[in-house]
Structure 1
Amino acid sequence: MSLRLGYGTNGLTDLRLDDALALLADLGYEGVGLTLDHMHLDPLAPDLGPRTQRLAQRLSALGLEVTVETGARYVLDPRRKHGPSLLDPDPDARAARTRLLVRAVRVAADLGAHAVHCFSGITPAGTSSTTAWQRLQDALAPVLDAASAAGIPLAVEPEPGHLLACLDDFHHLRGLLGDPEPLGLTLDIGHCQCLEPQSPADCVKQAAPWLRHVQIEDMRRGVHEHLPFGDGEIDFPPVLQALADSGYEGLTVVELPRHSHAGPELARTSLDFLRSHIPTNGATA
């Protein structure tokens, strides 16, 4: 199966959204990981509906597929990075994050997206593991209901330092929730290199049945820093082969959120790198 490559808009925040999309289409990307944020598609804007409709038309005209990502740093709270989270001690704050994710599901449905990405958040100080997992279950329940109604998978990402940090944690959540059909996985290849006990290629093989979204970049063992390709330690041909063999049908999106200053050039070099490292029988169209 061929790989469909995309680039994340969180790595193109210095560009207007339309300019970013045109760049990616011109370079030859097949899709985009769209982070809902104030500078591109603001999920809290009063005109979200009409803007989403126009964006759907633009994506179609450019031939770009899309996955909706929800990792914007300050979209809900201008003073707390990724705050409030699904684990916040304040139930009203948790509810605000849940509402954002439900809105993201609606946006994804209007865009015809492959999935909606999200993550758990960091366990607040003084919060027990049992309490944190219960909060996560409760906060995700309305999102999963919305995802089921919309037919859009919710792809939870294991994030280093978060409550749900690794693949084992994802499976723990699946078990707690009773393995609901809309619940899937966002697999970040760099995170696999950073902290999983097995190789990134083996992570892909293990995760294949639940893959709904893939993010990719270079990274070093034990250091959570998203790096341009070639600056880290990942052996990419086995990873790309495993993805091609996995049956995964979504986008594989370059994730360089701290490199927006060089976004256009990195978008070009990243695509060149990935194409040159895809095994022949996993090549893109």
Structure 2
Amino acid sequence: MTRPAPGAHRPRTPLRFGYGTNGLTDLRLDDALSLLADLGYDGVGLTLDHMHLDPLAPDLAARTRTVARRLGTLGLGVTVETGARYVLDPRRKHGPSLLDPDPEDRARRVDLLVRAVQVAADLGAHAVHCFSGITPAGTDTDLAWKRLAEALEPVLDAATAAGMPLAVEPEPGHLLATLADFHRLRRLLDDPEPLGLTLDIGHCQCLEPLPPEACVRAAAPWLRHVQIEDMRRGVHEHLPFGDGEIDFPPVLAALADTGYRGLTVVELPRHSHAGPHHAEQSLPFLHAAAAPTAPSDPAPPPGDPSATPEGSTTR
């Protein structure tokens, strides 16, 4: 492959920005979608939850068709996300997981993901996001990896049939926590075609050995979905832009240089109490940071209108 000469112009892929509905849970779904379209977002990271296209309520297919029409009218792209906290169990956050000791509980998570694949196909989404879950206490690591691989097989079958990428997210504290863990899963599953990666830029800052922009370049061949927010090293706390340590222009330049074509979705699940404010402030920040002549550390948006944060400091 011929490499461009030093200093030669390399065409960049225009980035497409979205906002996650898990940061707009105080809004009805239609209101959230209208807000994002009015603000100029290109798309939405739609978390299937009891308040936003409930995946377990009756008439899912009909409700999905209604949302698909609305997305089309508004001109919004979509990624389907599956990180709802209590959609399967009102007492266990993100439970049950793909690693649960009870095979029936694991099957409930598998069923949710298979439903999500179908919803994504019906919406015309560009990917379905998922994660491994935390290794249960007393569970051997090798057994946890075996459970994860076996649980994902029917989901990957559904993704293959639907032509829908399944984008697994490395999540701090989970069995699959890093880019290296994602590659371990690929090898365990013999590198299936629909298996891809969700890269959370804040997670890269939190725990990856490489800086976030280098993570983007390393992950590029498998990258199907991107989540973005600010974060500090060693602290898994999703922060508004300007409140953490990430230098965003090199990150966004890496995404554009590597030809990433999916959505880059703002991920602020602990900020729904001020969701419209953060949605309004985040897009200008990203556009400024993505500009070809963007300085490092573009000016952060004005602060949160609420002086009292709500919720804990983790997702």
Give the shorter-chain TM-score range.
Answer: over 0.9
Q: Where does residue 58 of structure 1 map in the other structure? A: 70
Give the 5 Å matches for 1:62-211.
62-211=74-223
Deviations 1:18-37 (CA, angstroms, capped at 9, x unpaired): 00000000000000000000
Deviations 1:212-244 (CA, angstroms, capped at 9, x unpaired): 000000000000000000000000000000000
SS of the aligned residue for 1:158 comes to: coil
Q: Kindly name which structure, 1 or 2, has the bigger radius of gyration based on alpha carbons.
A: 2
Deviations 1:114-143 (CA, angstroms, capped at 9, x unpaired): 000000000000001110000000100000
Going by fraction, where is helix more abundant, 1 or 2?
1
1:279 CA drift (Å) = 2.9
1:253 is aligned to 2:265: yes
1:13 is aligned to 2:30: no
- Which amino acid in 1 is paired with 2:101? P
The alignment-based identity, stated in percent, is 80
Of structures 1 and 2, the one scoring higher in RCO (CA 8 A, sep 6+) is 1
The equivalent position to 1:35 in structure 2, one of 47, 56, 74, is 47
SS of the aligned residue for 2:139 comes to: coil
SS of the aligned residue for 2:18 comes to: strand
Q: Counterparts of 2:15 and 2:96 in 1: how far apart (Å)?
A: 35
Q: Counterparts of 1:146 and 1:256 in 2: how far apart (Å)?
A: 29
Q: TM-score, normalised by structure 2?
A: 0.89
Count of aligned positions: 282
1:220 is aligned to 2:197: no
**Gaps (5+ residues) in structure 2?**
1-12, 295-315
Q: Counterparts of 1:66 and 1:185 in 2: how far apart (Å)?
A: 16
SS of the aligned residue for 1:7 comes to: strand
**Gaps (5+ residues) in structure 1?**
none
1:281 CA drift (Å) = 7.8
Q: Counterparts of 1:277 and 1:139 in 2: how far apart (Å)?
A: 39
Q: Counterparts of 1:264 and 1:137 in 2: how far apart (Å)?
A: 38
- Which amino acid in 1 is paired with 2:272? S
Q: Counterparts of 1:162 and 1:280 in 2: how far apart (Å)?
A: 36
Q: Counterparts of 1:279 and 1:237 in 2: how far apart (Å)?
A: 8
Q: Counterparts of 1:273 and 1:169 in 2: how far apart (Å)?
A: 31
Q: Where does residue 298 of structure 2 map in the other structure? A: none
- Which amino acid in 2 is paired with 1:159? E
Q: Counterparts of 1:26 and 1:139 in 2: how far apart (Å)?
A: 40
Q: Counterparts of 1:70 and 1:274 in 2: how far apart (Å)?
A: 24
Q: Counterparts of 2:40 and 2:258 in 1: how far apart (Å)?
A: 23
Q: Counterparts of 1:265 and 1:276 in 2: how far apart (Å)?
A: 18
SS of the aligned residue for 2:79 comes to: strand
Q: TM-score, normalised by structure 1?
A: 0.98
